Structure 1
């Protein structure tokens, strides 16, 4: 089955987009185990971004910073679009949040990342 057609994928997207970071991480990780590259690397990037936000919720800004950076690195090869998602928009928000963390600012001044369909 195509990943985009898998009902678990749409459920994982909903969890991510609602800010249910831990649950999104679990949902995407389950799919990640079943994929081959390049989808595998992209899902790993999404998992890392979700886990970064779990760290942020728990006050672990260092862990968040590290995982956002790793997630961005894995996201780049899939830009600008993959799996019907606007990855450039995701990259922009995650980059803004990472820059805020690196400069000691509150990343929450920027909107949370979302996995939006290509329009």
Structure 2
């Protein structure tokens, strides 16, 4: 289970402090060592981090594509939550995707965060 790996907590902390590149790298290390279906959850989280990185670099098209792909993975039935509130993450990603699709500023929305399940 990836959430039992000490690197997982570090990756979550990096994600939540908006250190998108470092979070991506650490989640990717774990992803390479993980089997399905947990792998799908990690890939969705990775895609959100990379979408955020694209936005920082002004690549709205890349962010739009990755947000959509992340939602497809994270909302797929049977996707493990890894102890995280992935539904809350998906709601934020949906809002940001909607802003991008309507040529609005996604930065007016909440920044994606990974919160533990209650």
TM-score normalised over the length of structure 1 = 0.94
Q: Is the Cα contact below 8 Å between 1:79 and 1:87 reproduced in 2?
A: no
Provide the C-alpha distance between the structure 2 equivalents of 1:117 and 1:79, rounded to a whole number of angstroms. Answer: 18
Provide the C-alpha distance between the structure 2 equivalents of 1:78 and 1:9, rounded to a whole number of angstroms. Answer: 23
Question: Which residue is 1:10 aligned to?
Answer: 9
Give 1:58 deviation, angstroms: 0.2
Q: Deviations for 1:20-65, whole angstroms, at most 9, x for unmatched residues?
A: 0111110100000001111101101111110001100000000010
After TM superposition, where is structure 1 displaced by more than 6 Å over at least 4 residues in a row?
none
Question: Which residue is 2:111 aligned to?
Answer: 112
Map 1:20-59; keep pairs closer than 5 Å: 20-59=19-58
Counterpart secondary structure, 1:12: helix
Structure 1: stretches of 5+ with no match in the other structure: none
Provide the C-alpha distance between the structure 2 equivalents of 1:24 and 1:15, rounded to a whole number of angstroms. Answer: 5
Structure 2: stretches of 5+ with no match in the other structure: none
Q: Over the residues paired in the alignment, what is the CA RMSD in angstroms? A: 1.4
TM-score normalised over the length of structure 2 = 0.95
